[in-house]
Structure formats: C-alpha cells, structure tokens
Amino acid sequence: MTGPVGSTVHSASAGKAWPVKIVVTGGAGFIGANLCAELATRPGVERLTVLDDLSTGDEGNLSGVDVELIRSSILDAGVVHRVVGAADAVVHLAARPSVPRSVADPMASHHVNATGTMHVLEACREHGAYLVAASSSSVYGDAPALPKHEELPTRPRSPYAASKLATEAYVLAYGATYRMPVLAFRFFNVYGELQPAGHAYAAVVPTFIDAALRGLPLPVYGDGRQTRDFTYVGSVVEVLADAVLRRVECDRPVNLAFGSRTSIVDLAGELSVVFGRTLDIAWQSERAGDVRDSQAADGLLRELFPDVSPVPLAVGLVRTVAWFHGRPGSAVTVVSPTGPDVVPLGEMASELLPALAGVELRAFRATADYDDEPWQIENFVRPLPGKTELSLVAMVAGAPVGFLVASRRPEGVHVHRLAVDPGHRREGIAAGLLTRLVAETDGTVTVVCHPDNTPALDLYLRAGFRTVGATEAGKVLLAMPQRRAEPAGV
C-alpha cells in the first residue's frame, strides 16, 4: 500500500496474536490518560501499563482506569527496558511539553524529548515491541504553505520544536535501519478533558476556559490572528487506539489533525458562545518561538484511518467546559436534574409517534420552513398519556414527525424527550420544536445531554443553548435563557 509521494504504509497484526500488552509512556498526562481510558474499553487489550514520572501528569487522571502505574522517568534506561520487555506495543507520549518552557530551559527539553525517546527506541528494538510515537506540528515552523503536508521541509523555530523533530527522526530512522514497526504522529493543538490550566505553560484552550470561569479576561498574545488546527482529544485517542491495535506503520510522519483553521480571537469568540456571554480579552506581547499559522493536511491520516470522524470544535469545547464545570473546586455549581435525560437524536423514539394520532389539538398551528421542508408545530391541550404537562408535536401533511415533552419547574422548563421520525430532516424539525418551546414558555429552558452525543450537542448550540454546568453523572447541562416571541399563527 502506497501513500502520497511514495510513502509506504502498512496495517497488519503480523507476528503477534491478541490479546496485547500495551505500555503508555506519559500515560498519566492529558492525552495519555484519555488514551488509557479508551484502550481499557477495547477488546483484545490484556494489560495496560503506564510509565510516568508525574512531572506534568497526575495520578488522579487514571482514577477508575484499570492500569498499572510505574512512577519513573524515560531517562532511566533500566526501568524503560524492564517495562517494555513485558509489552507487545508502546505508545510513547512522555515529553517535556511547551515552547516557552523549552525557551527557558532548552537542555531539559532535549534530554527528555530526544534522549528519552532513544531509551524507548532501544528497548523496543531489543524486545521487538511495536511503537507509536508523538511528534509535533511545531516542526513545520513558519513554512508559509497551508495546509501543512508531511512532505514540506521542516523549519523548527524553538528548542521544543527541534527536540520533537529529533523524536520523529529517530523513530523513523530506527524503523528504516532495524526494520522496526513504527508510526510517528505530528500532533497539532490537542485540547479536551484532563488538560491542565493554571500554570505558566498551560495551553490556550484550558487557559481561556479557566480565565472565563474565574471572571478574568482571556490572555491573547500578539494580535490574536495567529491560527491553529485545534483537535479534540477524543478524536486523537480514537486514532491512537486504532493504530496500536491494528499495528499501523508508515515510513513518514503522519499529521494527526483534520484540517481546521481557527484564529485565537475566533477561539475566544467560540467560547463566548459556549458561555453565553462576551469574554473580555487582555492583550499581551507576542511570545518568542510561537508559530504564526498551523493547519494540517489530513490526506495521509484519512488514508490510514478512513473510519475516523473528528469531533467539531464547537462540540469539543462544550465537552471541555462541562469537564471544567464538574471539577472539584469549580466556580460553577454541579446540579442533579431529576427526571429522564433527553433522548439522543440517533435513537428516534418513533414508536411513540402513533400515540399522537387522535389527540385533540388546539392553541396554535404555527407553520415554518426548516431545511426546505414545510411542516407544522402543534400544541397539545392535554399532555401525552403518562407524560408531562408541556408537549409539542411537529406535523408534515397532517402526520406527526417529531415531538418534544417537558415539565415546568420553579426555575423554568426542563426538556425530557426530544425525538424526530428518521424519515424526515431531523435537525431542522428538532430545532424548530426547541425554538417554539422557548417562545411559548416563561423563564429558562434547560436540557441535559451525554457529552458523546455529538449531533444533539451541536443541535442545542446552534439553537442558542449554552453550557451552564454538568450533572453528577457527568452529562452536560445546557440552558436557554428566557427569550419570548410571538406565536407565528393561531
């Protein structure tokens, strides 16, 4: 199998029968802990071992995940050889991250990112382990071409970028020289749950969210027009887990991002939408070593992983903010709404739609045109049998195609069920039902949603809902403040 510009790629489980034993270096960190949680759910994984000195990771990130944690550094060659010797595959994520940190102490970044990688490679060579390793998009530097494709020359502009270029160069050189099965990914701007904030070298997304929760302005360096390819951690670990379980190999580095391009000021705007208020900005001087623009070409990634479906930025930010809401010490109260959660849009409760036939309809018959399909919303005089006091149904040609049921509470109205018949354009009808509910009720309308239900989260955000917290079960709580409108017709 041949990829772009002659790159050779392989996907095989040759030489090793599952179940598999996997070591994750840096596995208590942000990406590593999310990966361990994902791998722990995958069939065929016999044992997970984390090697982490906890210099930037946190043992608490692995709470509830079935892993063995070995607290040591990849700079301890003896420990690395012992741990890798009992493994079939290694995902090498341990690193000394951050461009500013490398500017302050370049030797420390080199030792961990370059020399530490050599220790891991030597152990994999000796014991025959498959290796997936993390490089960085920073190796492209300020090459003007966009999007960045893997055949571009590298131009590192910081000691961190140089050390990550050494990481991937050694990985690919060992693969070519010793015929080792290897795969080197270039990570772009990964964000999501477990990413720490509140320190000098924190990444931009957690820094912005933490500032917003504290009521502080968002620190933006330079003019804020620099762009990044923000990649949700759930999408990243899906690819990593698939790579290690299929033993995907490639003789070139592979971008692990999906071709989006968002400026820092636009990121602030996206978070303003999530928080439901304008977030102020504190302008700062430009930082040394920062790259101006970053965007991935994702052709090779999609060739190797054709089934991956990246989480959109708007949805990933909602999930990340919800996680921040739910942390101990959060400035936002965690709530426990009663009653059933909203039905995922992918689980259409069409069996309930026939029960709507024959129900007396009155109050208003509002017509609308969503997604170029004319339909009507009709208000029930009485609730659906066994349901709550507020019910709306969408009608097409006299037949029900969707419904919404909700209940009144002292603080407003809470949505319990939202379903649309799969034979019709779901998103437009569902958005119309929510809009009509808001127009016909007083106070705030709230709904809870599972953070992995991407279609529903995206729908609520586009309908004007904003995240306000998380439930004790870890679900996202969204709310629509009172916004009355006149009925479209009676």
pLDDT greater at residue 197 or residue 347: 197
Where residue 298 falls (left for φ over 0; alpha for ψ -120 to 50; beta otherwise) is: alpha
Contacts of residue 280, Cβ cutoff 8 Å, sequence gap at least 6: 217, 218
Model confidence band, residue 328 (pLDDT cutoffs 50, 70, 90): low
pLDDT of residue 142: 84
SS3 289: coil
Q: What is the mean pLDDT of residues 284-300?
A: 90
In the predicted model, is pLDDT for residue 213 greater than 90? no
pLDDT greater at residue 384 or residue 71: 71
Model confidence band, residue 461 (pLDDT cutoffs 50, 70, 90): confident
Run of H or E including 74: none
Phi, psi (deg, nearest 5) at residue 278: -75, 125
Q: What is the mean pLDDT of residues 406-426?
A: 67
Phi, psi (deg, nearest 5) at residue 220: -120, 125
In the predicted model, is pLDDT for residue 397 greater than 90? no
Instruction: List pLDDT tens digits, range 115-153.
Output: 999 999 999 999 999 999 999 999 999 888 999 999 999
pLDDT of residue 279: 93
Contacts of residue 296, Cβ cutoff 8 Å, sequence gap at least 6: 137, 147, 148, 186, 188, 229, 255, 256, 257, 258, 259
Instruction: List pLDDT tens digits, range 4-31.
Output: 444 555 554 444 446 799 999 999 999 9
pLDDT of residue 163: 97
SS3 170: helix
Domains of the chain: 4-326 (3.40.50.720), 350-480 (3.40.630.30)
Mean pLDDT of the chain: 80
Between the alpha carbon of residue 98 and those of residues 90, 200, 235, 256, 406, the distances in Å are: 23, 10, 21, 18, 47
Region of poorest pLDDT, from 9-23, 49-63, 274-288: 9-23
Tell me the chain's radius of gyration from C-alpha atoms.
25
Strands 466-470 and 89-92: unpaired
Q: How many residues does the chain have?
A: 490
CA–CA gap between residue 253 and residue 258 (Å, rounded): 15
pLDDT of residue 107: 96
Region of poorest pLDDT, from 89-93, 102-106, 409-413: 409-413
Convert 57-79 to b/e letters by CB count within 10 Å (16 or more is b).
beeebbeebebebbebbbeebeb
Joined together, the tokens standing for residue 42 give 């995958």
pLDDT greater at residue 421 or residue 414: 414
In the predicted model, is pLDDT for residue 33 greater than 90? yes
pLDDT greater at residue 238 or residue 459: 238
In the predicted model, is pLDDT for residue 383 greater than 60? no
Model confidence band, residue 1 (pLDDT cutoffs 50, 70, 90): very low
Percent of the chain whose predicted confidence (pLDDT) is above 90? 51
Percent of the chain whose predicted confidence (pLDDT) is above 70? 74
Q: What residue type is assigned to position 237 of the chain?
A: V
pLDDT greater at residue 220 or residue 289: 220
Contacts of residue 91, Cβ cutoff 8 Å, sequence gap at least 6: 22, 23, 24, 25, 27, 32, 35, 132, 133, 240, 244
CA–CA gap between residue 35 and residue 42 (Å, rounded): 11
Region of poorest pLDDT, from 91-95, 96-100, 388-392: 388-392
pLDDT of residue 353: 39
| 124, 84 contact by CB (below 8 A) | yes
